[in-house]
Homo-oligomer: A and B are copies of this chain.
Amino acid sequence: MSNEELLRHHGLRTTALRLDLLRLLQASDRALTHQEFEGGLKVEADRVSIFRSLNAFVEAGVAHRVLDGRGTSCFARCGTDCGHGHHNDTHAHFRCNTCGHVYCMDPIELPGVALPRGFKLAKSYLELDGTCKGCR
């Protein structure tokens, strides 16, 4: 599916900015920060528009947001089974302590956890850190 089709399939208009952002997402093997998007774009775009497009991606199920461990957001392409307000990205994320890059791992089963009385679990997230392949 082309990126134009992808956007329309998720109910988003195809604009130059969004196609450019998708291009960067596709070309990367890891999650990208707002800064990295801004620095990699071919088209001119206001930083606010980038934020808004990335938020639209997340809401539409085109991308998912990951925190980089220091509080800033990274974004990575979703799989094929994510849609509007409906994410299915049940994989761990790995953050490199050297370069700070965040990688999506292969899907994995998470262990059941015993919660204290009164707590109701919705989702579990496994975060990993260490050294990435480029930094050793």
Tallying the copies of this chain within the complex gives 2
CB pair B113–A136 under 8 Å, yes or no, is no
Cβ of A114 under 8 Å from chain B? yes
A67 touches which of B67, B114, B122 (Cβ 8 Å): B67
Shortest CB-to-CB span from A131 to chain B, Å, is 4
> A92 vs B94: C-alpha distance in the bound complex, in angstroms?
17
> A126 vs B121: C-alpha distance in the bound complex, in angstroms?
13
CB interface residues, A 15-63, toward B, < 8 Å: none
Cβ of A8 under 8 Å from chain B? no
> A41 vs B100: C-alpha distance in the bound complex, in angstroms?
34
Residue in B closest to A123 when the chains form the complex, CB atoms = B129
CB interface residues, A 88-136, toward B, < 8 Å: 92, 94, 97, 103, 105-106, 108-111, 113-134, 136
Cβ of A85 under 8 Å from chain B? no
> A111 vs B126: C-alpha distance in the bound complex, in angstroms?
10
Which of A109, A114, A127 lies at the interface centre, i.e. has the most chain B CB atoms within 10 A of its CB? A127
A123 touches which of B105, B109, B116, B130 (Cβ 8 Å): B130
